[in-house]
Amino acid sequence: MATKITDDAIVEYLEERQIYVKLQQAMEALAIHKPDNPCGFLKNYFDPAKTSCKATHRVIILGPPCSGKSTICTLLSKKLGGRLICAERNNQTLGSTEVIESVRTQLQQCSNDSWVLDDFPSSELEAFSLRISPDCLPTVVIDLQLPLDTVLSRSTSEAERDQLKKRYDVYKINRPAYFKVFEYCIRVIDCTDLNMQDIEARVMAIITGAGTVKNSSNEVLPRGPAILDEKAEKIAYTMSRAPNTRPTIESVN
């Protein structure tokens, strides 16, 4: 007698191995690339050595000062094979038109490629500026949470602590705007007591289950509800309203 898909052991296996997520990503890749040989394409897609048909990822890393944003961005750009884009501020104020235009131009230059955005946005205006063009929309935004005491403990002088406190306050003021702008794809990681390897593992777990980009129209294809404060939201923070089949971040070793 054939095994039914509803058998508990089969369902548990499929969920544990994230088979549904992987198959959905593969079908999205087929829809994006429309290959003449779909079976050959899928063979290459599931071959770890092949990279020609992998998903396009657009990643923004947010967080307070000293949370490891730039380090994670550098690691991600290498691991994802994406372009690392840094906001060159040169002491310009947050929300500067020159900074916004510079970042948007760089994002539009790699509209069909993966990218990782560092040190942007840092204000409400900068966050909203990314909604003007579909080329600038991220597939996932990751907010690295760190308490103020931990941030200040990483300073070496009183003057540095004062500067970190000001930057931290600016981040906290703008944080609600980030959640409003990126509500469809934002995720949160509590970085307290985590080393860089732990943070990287959780970031990659999120990206693995994050949305991809439909290259033909630059449409963001998000998936599943957001994980906020280590808990999956009851309401899906995505257009797809898909059920959350991803493991919780804290379950990733």
pLDDT tens profile 141-188: 999 989 999 999 988 888 899 999 999 999 999 998 888 888 877 888
| Residue 23 confidence (pLDDT) above 60 | yes
Q: Which CATH class is domain 55-251?
A: alpha beta
Segments in the chain forming alpha helices (H): 8-16, 19-33, 38-45, 69-80, 97-109, 124-129, 148-153, 158-181, 196-208
**CB atoms near residue 232 (< 10 Å):** 16
Q: Where in the chain is the domain with CATH 3.40.50.300?
A: 55-251
- Give me the residue label for tokens 């980009």: 213
Average pLDDT estimate for 200-217:
68
Average the pLDDT over each of 88-102, 148-162, 180-194, 232-246 and give the range with the smallest value. Answer: 232-246
Question: To which residue do tokens 């058998």 refer?
Answer: 7
> How far from 200 is each of 17, 76, 205, CA to CA, in Å?
20, 8, 9
pTM of the model: 0.65
User: If you count them, how many residues does the chain have?
Assistant: 253
Q: How confident is the model at residue 76 (pLDDT cuts 50, 70, 90)?
A: very high
- Whether omega before 222 lies within 30 degrees of 0, making that bond cis, reads no
- State yes or no: cis peptide before 121, omega within 30 of 0: yes
